[in-house]
Structure 1
Amino acid sequence: MHAILLKMRFLFLLLLPVLAGSAQTKAPMVDIPAITEGLQKYQKDLGNDFVVIVQKDGKDVYRKEFGDLKANSQEPVGEASQWLTAALVMTYVEEGKIALDDKLSNWLPSFVSYSKGYITIRQCLSHTTGIETDQSTVKNLLKKKKFESLEVEMNALAKDRALQAKQGTQFYYGTFAPSIAARVVEIIGKKDYDRLFKDRISKNLGLKRTTFMSEDIYAENPTVGARSCADDYIKFLSMLANRGMANGKQVLSEKSVSEILKVQTGDAKIVYTSPLSQGNSFGLGCWLQEKDAQGNGTLVNCPGVSGTWPWINLSKGYAAVVFTRGNAPDQKRIIFEEIRELIEANIP
């Protein structure tokens, strides 16, 4: 018995540093009572379980978990996925391996075959491809049709969807255009999309719970298919708010961040926009709610029907995310506007 106890004690001493390190990785809650009291009235609207984190200069100024959801709980983030996708594409732009105005004909033969070769990477990330789309049809298609890879899915898209307008002339917010750009970087990077994201974004930001892998064997969805957690997504937002810097390294160049956060739709006619973002402009993978005279976003967000609502306010110098379980009731923009105003009235 004595020998067993000694072995157990030895194992405990070996594990003690690991256990201590694990305990230190959980960020402490940072409360501002006025914000917490104000948020409690929205608990039902947000599905009861949600997390709110606000950061300035990469440090928490407010962090609170409501209900059972934790800051490291992984949930679907819906349309907020495409902001992450735009960032990954820009890493290839920085290296000169691709240009935003490169045509798909340079990379995707199937798009050339079906008269879509003149669409550019920029148009894919800004929903101005001109490819026929419909919100209800696309959502049903995503539920019923499964593809074994992003390559197979994009080949089917090229074949099955006609051009309803000349590329660049219409803005139609849909659920597949950024995935076309994602397929291009798969070809360049010679790896599947999720692996590229982990190598180029997750590793540099320390994202531990963000993935584009589906829960089954089917293809990743770079437009609406990411799963993440509040801890991870706030790191991404703070990097953008800090002009591409995080953990002492330049994850994205200032030029890339500026490109993501400025108007990218040109003179395209607005045909369809998200009900959550009526009246907003669009950058690369994100909405510009407020912008300066040159079209640079100052208040930028990327809400999704999943319930996740991330944003950065450059004019006030902070980043924030309201993170839900992904099954919140129908989103109401007015609720998130009230939450943002509550936060801005009370953060230091």
Structure 2
Amino acid sequence: MRRFTRTLAAVALATTVVAGNVGWASGSARTAVTGPPPGSASWRADESTGRELPDPGRATPGQVRSFFRGLGAAEQRELLERHPSVVGNLDGVPLELRYRANARALRASQDPRYVRLAAPGRQILAFDPRGRGLVAEVFGDLRSARRVSVVVPGSDIDAGSFDRRGNVYGTPVGMAKSLYAEAGAGHAVIAWAGYTTPVGLGLDAATGTLAAAGAERLTRFTAGLAADGLPAPAVFCHSYGSVVCGLAASGLGATDLVVLGSPGMRADDVAGLGTTARVWAAKDDTDWIDDIPHVEVAGLGHGADPADEDFGARRVPADDAKGHTGYFVPGTDSLRAFAAIAERAS
């Protein structure tokens, strides 16, 4: 009977996507930003250091880190000035250089979307203007932090909405700043909008194509943190971001994996994620995500509900988190639980 019910739900989901009726609506597909950072061709051709530079498309974050350790300060500065987009986005480059490189690239940008990101004092760990724009920002002192958290957002996030003023706690910056304030001293939080997200509830949101591309980028990003000697992170994944995290789970090296408002992680249960991280799930009763069928058929839908008891995740209280973007609102039980999870990450 349960299998029959799930099959009916899957058929309903597929029909809804194709017809463009209630719930998942049809929409044009987005092209994911993939591959090495912009400016990589110029970087590969640069012989100014007298040695071959690590290939941005093939070198591991560990290899990148080793290369930069072998450079003097003047050589590092020269590469930063000649190739700010590569230095600022290449995982394994020391974070201090990435901050400086991205500040330089943002100041040089003519796009009005990036004016606020270029403000002095912001710690931009990644800035890629391709597509709708990819950004990562750090709150706190990442170098000295004893605990690190990464926030992965869901749909409708790009460089323009990264820190929008409306619906603040549905933005990467709003979520990260709220967690940072609650977690207190010794923590650093990274708002990571480093993948191409779906727009609206279209076909992209119902499939895993963008999530798969995002998972590859997220895995490399966390490998870069590890190569730079930073603590293993707790990763907080909102909405479609939890699909990204589900596909990336086995390679994240995370201490904790926390999903909230999740449409599914493309796994039947915690064991299917292939991770040693502690897995947590939060979903409040007023979140519209609960109306989405938690099934997967013919590539549509994202599978089991991580907040369901059978999935095996540890449940995060979310009784007073209202709606789909209320989990990081100050004063909520969910935010307090998130801070406690971040505190124990090690």
| Larger relative contact order (CA 8 Å, sep ≥ 6) | 1
Structure number, greater radius of gyration: 1
Q: Could you tell me the TM-score, scaled by structure 2's length?
A: 0.30
